[in-house]
Amino acid sequence: MNWKDTLEFARGPFFQVALIVFVGGMAYRLMRVLLLGWSRDRVPSKGSKLGGVVIAYLKGIIIWPFVPWVKNTFSKKPVMYLAGGLFHLGLFVIIFFGTPHMLVWKSLLGLGWSTLPTPIVDWLAAVTLVALATLLINRLVDPVLKLITGPAEVLNWLFVFLPMLTGYTMTHHLLNPYEMIFSLHVLAVDILLIWIPFSRISHFIFYFFSKTIHGAQFGKRAVTP
């Protein structure tokens, strides 16, 4: 099997399987949590739960990760906050506003959108790689993170890092032949997709649960979330 065939396999059947595992796995996890039962909150509200939820999201998405002085705790771990924030921003921009990725979305969803100029995406990719490396080092030396880090946490990091690394290598033609590095990139993405339902990377779904609960709890009390 040469690299060309590998690429066809990685983009074709293997990608299909990975997508099915990803979508099916996430749907299963979502249903499992939803079906556990939700008791009604009978406590009379003082403020607006909905208002609290809106503020929680605004703060969580727009302000919190990028405006350092909002949270006092930022001053204690600036590197971790910056690295965490930039890594998420970078990943989001690359996945949705990198031209090649948008084309993948287009082939899957049937609709496309305008993307960002390659130099911007490229620069963010470099930042994301550095941020990821920083986060790993931090995870290995911080006493709390050492305590809560097991094999799963290291794999989470690795399976996100590999697509980033191969993608960057590919766009900069650092390794040849092109089919090889392209294959490795797509394989890494396939593995990531398969891994997500088994891991805590799935937090991109459950974030909306905990953040809504947070907003509602504070909104109920008329306290800023």
**In the complex, which residues of this chain contact another protein (CB under 8 A)?**
29, 32-39, 41-44, 46-47, 56, 60, 64-65, 71-73, 76-77, 80, 84, 142-151, 153, 198, 200, 202-203, 206-207, 209-211, 213-215, 217-218, 220-225
What secondary structure does DSSP assign to 193-205, as a single string? HHHGGGSGGGHHH
Closest distance of CB 37 from another protein, Å: 5
Q: Which of residues 51 and 84 has its CB atom nearest to another protein in the complex?
A: 84
Q: Which of residues 16 and 210 has its CB atom nearest to another protein in the complex?
A: 210
Q: How far is CA 195 from the centre of its chain?
A: 13
Q: Which of residues 47 and 51 has its CB atom nearest to another protein in the complex?
A: 47
Closest distance of CB 133 from another protein, Å: 16
Q: Which of residues 115 and 202 has its CB atom nearest to another protein in the complex?
A: 202
C-alpha distances (whole Å) from 201 to each of 22, 34, 39, 142, 216 are: 11, 18, 27, 20, 24
Q: What is the rounded CA–CA span in Å between residue 150 and residue 159?
A: 15
Q: Which of residues 57 and 105 has its CB atom nearest to another protein in the complex?
A: 57
Closest distance of CB 52 from another protein, Å: 10
Closest distance of CB 108 from another protein, Å: 26
Q: What is the rounded CA–CA span in Å between residue 63 and residue 57?
A: 9
Structure-token pair, residue 161: 């890092």
Return the SS3 of 114.
coil
Closest distance of CB 223 from another protein, Å: 5
Q: What is the rounded CA–CA span in Å between residue 101 and residue 93?
A: 10
Contact 124, 92 (CB under 8 A): no
